[in-house]
Amino acid sequence: MRKPSFLFPLVLALPLAACFDAEMSLDFPGEDRAEATMVMTASPDFYALATSSGEAFCEGEESMNEDGQHVCTETTGGTIDEIMNDPDIGSGMTIERRDGELIYVAFDLGDITEDIAPPEEEGADEMMAMMREAFAGRSITLNISGAEIVETNGTVSDDGTTSTYEIPLTVALDGAGDLPETFNALVRPGG
Note down pLDDT in tens along the chain; length 191 residues: 333 444 444 444 444 445 778 899 999 999 999 999 999 998 888 888 888 888 888 888 999 999 989 999 999 999 999 988 887 765 688 999 999 999 999 999 887 777 666 666 666 677 777 777 777 788 889 999 999 999 999 999 999 999 999 988 877 777 656 889 999 999 999 97
Distance separating the N- and C-terminal Cα atoms of the chain: 26
DSSP string, 120-154: -STTHHHHHHHHHHHHTT-EEEEEEESSEEEEESS
Note whether 54 and 69 are within 8 A (CB): no
Amino acid at 141: T
Exposure class string for 126-160: b at 16+ Cβ within 10 A, else e: ebeeebeebbeebbbebbbbbbebbebebeeeeee
Burial tier of 45 (Cβ tally within 10 Å: 0-12, 13-18, 19+): middle
How many residues are recorded in the chain?
191
Give the whole-angstrom CA distance, residue 135 versus residue 129: 10
pLDDT attached to residue 18:
52
Which pTM does this prediction carry?
0.81
Radius of gyration from C-alpha coordinates of the chain: 17
Name beta bridge partners: 74: 38
Note whether 17 and 131 are within 8 A (CB): no
Q: Write down the domain spans for the chain.
A: 8-188
